[in-house]
Amino acid sequence: MSTAPLVSIEGISKRFGKTVALEDMTLDIAHGEFVTFLGPSGCGKSTTLRILGGFETADTGRVILDGKDVTALPPERRAVNMVFQDYALFPHMTAGQNIAFGLELKGMDKGGIRSRLEEIMTFLELTDYADRYPAQLSGGQRQRVALARALAPDPALLLLDEPLAALDANLRAQVQRELKSIQRRTHKSFFFVTHDQQEALAMSDRIVVMNQGRIEQDGTPEQLYFQPASRFVAEFIGDTNLLEGQVRDLADGEIVMDWYGRTLRGRSADAVPSRNAPVTASIRLEKLGVYTDRPDTDNVVPGRVVGKTFLGSRMLLDVAVDDAGEATLKAYVDSDHGRSLGDAPLWLGWDASGMAMLRD
Amino acid sequence: MNRGNRVLLSCVYWAFVLYVFVPLLLMILMGFKDSKFIGFPIRSWTLEWYQGVFADTEVISTFGYSMAIAALSTLVSVLVGTWIAVLLEGRRFRGRTILFGLTILPALIPGIISAIAFRIYARGLGIEPGMGAIVWAHAVHNVPFVVLVVMARLSTLPKSQVEAARDLGADPLISFLRITLPYLIPSILGATVFCLLLSFDDFIRSYFLGGYEPTLPVLIFAKLRSGMSPEINAIATVALVLTAVIGIWAERFTRRQARESDA
């Protein structure tokens, strides 16, 4: 396999009237990679997907697919297939006819179509439904037919436009695992678009967080979760504590900040801020340790429990920090541990590696 | 809704039913009367008038002539109307509103005016009165109905359907033929029956643009001038039963198709 990327998006921009949908976006997708575009509605993730599919034309920039410039090619001439949000199954064709549609148009002979159909329907466990019409299938089955139809012509890149949004919560978790395993077994590049951060974390090799037509951060799920580069990413993915303070010192790859007169240490995934500049730090709830005695961690603050929320296996604590105005930090503890905590003073402690200094 | 309102509403409904169906019923009854004079009382019954209708070669051939005109004009209006609907729906271009207005206009012009206009225009163009002229006038008159019905259906076709077809390798023509057209079939069938009935039923355009051969409504009109007779009732009843059966069948078929493809 070549080391050249499967897809190169080179500086594409797109405007709809006065609205900027995409601003000078550049991105590579590797062979066999599961890339998720994550962001709120209107962030440009769907526009990127539609430009890759050929349904929109970029105002500037180029799209290179497998070494070929496909920027100006219509959808039917790209080796890219899409799973639509509403699945877009053809209502007057059976599941089998839907899946065979792309194969027929590729000019495959009857025997070839039959064996490919057999293969893909077995692979996705659809053989029992070949003769049913979309109206006779459940939501999950339709979703699989849509996936089979898009995979059947053997595209270089599969585009998925929030294909799980219409499924109910129980089914969704199961389909997430299936989708990830299908992607692994087919070794295809998946370009997945969603606004659901949990979905993105569960399936992706790589997540690209989009905001207002620009890439906020591009990294593995772990990087994005534990080392968010910006406030937007920290807040969009998971729950977090945000601490606003001032940069006091920069040393050994660590940033030392001042927060209500206390010294806290953290790391930055992105640009290093300058001394004395205001800075926001993000620390995940589960990274905060709750101690009755002063712990030996990089960062320590004293406080008092002011709220408890029982969540089953764990408990969410609201801890008011001493001498920090209205500031409270949220932390997760084991339920048994949480129950034993009273009004007595306690300590919150965490290591520098868990705290991310954000760019705004 | 309170009781008084319900009673009032059902009274209005039944009054409407009587208002529509009593005249038709009377017309049908008179077709079976064993006397030349229309009116009550009916002393004895006969099928003689119906035998007369089916034996009358003029009536039979006129019937065929009207059906041929209906079929031809419908073919033209459905083709042109569907084409215009596809052109207008879902696109934004300069002059779209004007084009749409012009398309709908023929349905709004009073029949007598459009009939006279057609007559003058046909003479100007050197078109002989007769079948061609009638077909032309009926087709123009019926196009707006096709456009409206097909456009309404087309506006409910999700954009992703055509995009999915394109994505899977269909060029615009193939995706129209294999995805859009099948989706439009119920509306096209509905429009077809509606056009057939409109054309079959038309008197004014057929009268002004016809040659020596009358269409069925024109023949009935001609026969009326020589005096009302139960034979006319019999002809009208046959026509009524035929159009009602076709209309009801088409309505049910269209609804079933639409339901299936939406499910």
| Nearest CB to A90; choose among B166, B171, B179 | B179
**What confidence tens digit (pLDDT) does each residue in B153-187 have?**
999 999 999 999 999 999 999 999 999 999 999 89
Distance from CA of B254 to the nearest CA of A (A): 15
CA dihedral B183, B184, B187, B192 (to 10 degrees): -130
pLDDT-above-90 percentage for chain A: 64
A169 vs A180: CA distance, rounded Å? 17
Q: Which of A74, A86, A92 lies at the smallest CB-CB distance from B261? A: A92
> For B25-37, what is the mean pLDDT?
81
The pLDDT assigned to A168 comes to: 84
pLDDT of residue B261: 58
Q: Which of A86, A105, A135 sits opposite B160 (nearest CB)?
A: A86
| Min distance A75 CA to chain B CA atoms (Å) | 5
Give CA separation, A25 vs A21, A65, B59, in Å: 10, 16, 75
CB A47 within 8 A of CB A102: no
Q: In 3D, which of A30, A60, A40 has the Cα closest to residue A213?
A: A40
**Which residue has tokens 């105005």?**
A325
Whole-number pLDDT of residue B259: 67
Q: B90 or A84: whose pLDDT is higher?
A: A84
Asked if B164 and A82 come within 8 Å (Cβ–Cβ), the reply is yes
Q: What is the predicted pLDDT for the residue at B41? A: 77
Which residues on chain B place their C-beta less than 8 Å from a C-beta of chain A? 158, 160-161, 163-171, 174, 178-179, 182-183, 260-263
* Best CA proximity match to A64, nearest among A114, A7, A136: A7
* pLDDT at residue number B36: 74
Among B162, B168, B177, B183, most A C-beta atoms within 10 A, so best to mutate, is B168
Has residue A115 got a pLDDT over 80? yes
What residues does A359 pair with on adjacent strands? A230
Confidence class for position B260, pLDDT limits 50, 70, 90? low
Q: Which of B36 and B247 is assigned the larger pLDDT? A: B247
Residues of A within 8 A of B176 (CB-CB) are none
User: What is the per-residue pLDDT for B169?
Assistant: 93
- Reference A143, options A129, A157, A156, A153; nearest CA is A129
> Is pLDDT of A16 > 70?
yes
pLDDT of amino acid B135: 94
CA A110 from chain center: how many Å? 40
Q: Average pLDDT over chain B, rounded to whole?
A: 87
Task: Provide the pLDDT for residue B263.
Answer: 47
Query: SS3 letters for chain B?
Result: CCHHHHHHHHHHHHHHHHHHHHHHHHHHHHCCECCCCCCCCCCCECCHHHHHHHHCHHHHHHHHHHHHHHHHHHHHHHHHHHHHHHHHCCCCCCCHHHHHHHHHHHHHCCHHHHHHHHHHHHHHHCCCCCHHHHHHHHHHHHHHHHHHHHHHHHCCCCHHHHHHHHHCCCCHHHHHHHHHHHHHHHHHHHHHHHHHHHHHHCCHHHHHHCCCCCCHHHHHHHHHHCCCCHHHHHHHHHHHHHHHHHHHHHHHHHHHHHHHHHC
Mean pLDDT of A319-345: 87
Asked if B167's CB is within 8 angstroms of A91's CB, the reply is no
d(C-alpha B191, C-alpha B186), whole Å? 9
B30: pLDDT strictly greater than 90:
no
Residues in A touching B160 (Cβ below 8 Å): 84-86, 88
pLDDT band at B262 (very low <50, low <70, confident <90, very high): low
Largest pairwise CA distance in chain B: 73
The mean pLDDT of B86-111, rounded to a whole number, is: 85
Band (pLDDT 50/70/90 cuts) for residue B4 is confident
Mean pLDDT is lowest, of A317-326, B54-63, B226-235, for B226-235
User: Which residue type does B95 have?
Assistant: G
pLDDT at residue A26, rounded to an integer:
93
- Residue A149: list chain B partners with CB under 8 A: 164, 168
pLDDT value of position A275: 80
Least CB–CB distance from B167: residue in A81, A90, A92: A81
Whole-angstrom Cα distance, residue A129 to residue A141?
A: 8
Instruction: Kindly report the nearest CA distance between residue A23 and chain B, in angstroms.
Output: 25
A75 and B166 within 8 Å at the Cβ level: the answer is yes
Q: How far is A60 from chain B (nearest CA, A)?
A: 22
What pLDDT is stored for residue A157 in this prediction?
A: 93
Does residue A155 surpass a pLDDT of 80? yes
More confident residue, A157 or B257: A157
* C-beta atoms of A101 and B168 within 8 A: yes
Mutate to test the interface with B, among A52, A55, A76, A159 (most CBs of B within 10 A): A76
The residue of chain B with its CA nearest to that of A136 is: B263
Report the mean per-residue pLDDT for chain A.
90
Chain B residue at shortest CA distance from A148: B168
Q: Which residues contact B7 (CB under 8 A, 6 or more apart)?
A: none
Gap between the Cα atoms of A130 and A126, Å rounded: 7
What gap in Å lies between CA A230 and CA A309, rounded to an integer? 28
Distance from CA of A135 to the nearest CA of B (A): 5
Cβ neighbour number for residue B52 with a 10 Å cutoff: 15
Q: Alpha-carbon distance B53 to B228, whole Å?
A: 15
Which residues of A are less than 8 Å from B260 in CB distance? 91, 135
- pLDDT recorded at residue A30: 93
Phi and psi torsions of A350, nearest 5°: -155, 160
Least confident window among A72-81, A150-159, A333-342, B220-229: B220-229
pLDDT at position A270 is 66
Which of the listed ranges B22-26, B88-92, B146-150 does the model predict with the highest average pLDDT? B146-150
Residue with tokens 């606004």: A195
Mark yes or no for CB contact B174/A82 under 8 Å: no
C-alpha distances in Å from residue A319, one per residue of A252, A304, A311, A337, B112: 30, 5, 17, 15, 86
The per-residue pLDDT for range A236-287, each reduced to its tens digit, is 998 899 999 989 888 777 889 999 989 999 988 666 677 888 889 999 999 9
Instruction: Determine contact: A221 vs chain B, CB below 8 A.
Output: no
Q: Taking CB atoms and an 8 Å cutoff, what residues of chain A touch B169?
A: 76, 102, 105-106, 153
Contact of A339 with A348, CB cutoff 8 Å: no
Query: What is the reported pLDDT for A327?
Result: 85
User: What sign has the CA pseudo-torsion A287, A291, A295, A300?
Assistant: positive
Given an 8 Å threshold on Cβ–Cβ distance, is A81 in contact with B261? no
Q: Would you give the distance in Å from CA A231 to the centre of its chain?
A: 16
Supply the pLDDT for residue B243.
85
The residue among A252 and B219 whose pLDDT is bigger is B219
Domain ranges of chain B: 46-262
Q: Which of residues 118-137 of A touch B (CB under 8 A)?
A: 135
Does the beta-carbon distance from A91 to B261 stay under 8 Å?
yes
CB-based contact B168 A74, cutoff 8 Å? no
Confidence of residue A55 (pLDDT cuts 50, 70, 90): very high
Tell if the CB–CB gap between B263 and A86 is shorter than 8 Å: no
Q: Is the pLDDT of residue B254 over 90?
A: no
> Residue A144 pLDDT more than 80?
yes
Which pLDDT belongs to residue B93?
A: 80
Tell me the three-class secondary structure of chain A, residue by residue. Answer: CCCCCCEEEEEEEEEECCEEEEEEEEEEECCCCEEEEECCCCCCHHHHHHHHHCCCCCCEEEEEECCEECCCCCHHHCCEEEECCCCCCCCCCCHHHHHHHHHHHCCCCHHHHHHHHHHHHHHCCCHHHCCCCHHHCCHHHHHHHHHHHHHCCCCCEEEEECCCCCCCHHHHHHHHHHHHHHHHHHCCEEEEEECCHHHHHHHCCEEEEEECCEEEEEECHHHHHHCCCEHHHHHHCCCEEEEEEEEEEEECCEEEEEECCEEEEEEECCCCCCCCCEEEEEEEHHHCEEECCCCCCCEEEEEEEEEEEECCCEEEEEEEECCCCCCEEEEEEEHHHHHHCCCCCEEEEECHHHEEEEEC
Q: Topology of B46-262 in CATH?
A: MetI-like fold (1.10.3720)
